Structure 1
């Protein structure tokens, strides 16, 4: 009796997953109207820039597939604080454009920087700009284009300039601006008008 009840619940669960996850998802109109978030210093949890020719901000949803079907999960701004001294902060987000459940644009950006206000707040995000102990990440920025898969990264010779304009340790808010160029093995990607305002 219990096993039959379990099978009934399992079949209903898979049916509900399909009815909610199998609908066509389309955010192409919102993608076409995407704007950069205003620059703020309030811990608004925003991130945006112009990436190549595209205004980029955390937007859209990504399709997650599992044993009970697939579903569209909204892209979220992610902030990670490493317990180094001084601490490292990583800010990451994705922008996905989807038309009739087919992704036509999917780029993720992330940057990692020291959470300190020395040097007037200026950070040079390049692979070798900060000497770190083995196993610890350096200050850097990268973008991943998932259609087609291609990675871009800041370099030590031409680092991305990130300026921390506010660091409030009591309220745990950090805000700033960034710009520069990211490089792949064969190509480059300009980053302009970058701004972020996050709580950590």
Structure 2
């Protein structure tokens, strides 16, 4: 009798654990982001309106690219990413900042080429493309470079942005992080 009871208890435990895989509760979106590292790991992630955004898929080009030109505008730094959701939908998230030449905090509120954030949801409508500072009603964005190693060509940091346009939902980019070689 004790052997059967032990067997039934083991089976009950196994069946209860198998239900854990199909848990309908959503995971914490921040847990889906890559860790914040400073090793040139080639990682990028953030929350866009509370949903995890990481580069994904391919259109024939790299879905995450970091550039740095020390001679243009005192040090032009850029991040370009995209995420292929399906064959009809690709999202883009890019940042540009200049002059960038060391560890520090940089405003991304300055306009074309010297500090900007571009987000395209891939939907093509006015609210699906948040970029042009001329028709934004509010924009506050910051890039913080936490490692800038020119000799090993490694850059890492964090970023966030809040962008609003009349008639559109406010775009909130939070917990942004990147670690890459340039």
TM-score relative to the length of structure 1: 0.63
The alignment's C-alpha RMSD in Å is 2.7
2:157 — aligned with what?
Answer: 176
Count of matched residue positions in the alignment of Structure 1 and Structure 2 = 146
**1:59 and 2:42 matched:** no
- Checking the alignment, whether the CA contact within 8 Å between 2:45 and 2:55 is kept in structure 1 is yes
| Helix, strand or coil at the partner of 2:101 | coil
- Provide the rounded CA distance (Å) in 1 between the counterparts of 2:124 and 2:79: 23
- Checking the alignment, whether the CA contact within 8 Å between 1:126 and 1:154 is kept in structure 2 is no
**1:76 and 2:52 matched:** no
Q: Label 1:154 to 1:196 Cα distance change in 2 as closer, same or farther (>3 A).
A: farther
1:186 deviates by: 2.9
Give 1:152's match in structure 2, choosing from 115, 119, 130. 130
Higher-Rg member (1/2): 2
1:124-174 deviation line (CA, Å, top 9, x unaligned): 10134xxxxxxx721111101112442113859642111111111111111
Which stretches in structure 2 are left out of the alignment for 5+ residues? Answer: 1-25
2:94 — aligned with what?
Answer: 110
**1:44 and 2:41 matched:** yes
**1:165 and 2:152 matched:** no
1:59-83 deviation line (CA, Å, top 9, x unaligned): 1234xxxxxxxxxx47521223333
1:40 deviates by: 0.8
TM-score relative to the length of structure 2: 0.69
More strand by share: 1
- Provide the rounded CA distance (Å) in 2 between the counterparts of 1:179 and 1:192: 5
Map 1:77-96 → 2, pairs under 5 A: 77-82=64-69, 83-96=71-84
Which stretches in structure 1 are left out of the alignment for 5+ residues? Answer: 1-31, 63-72, 129-135
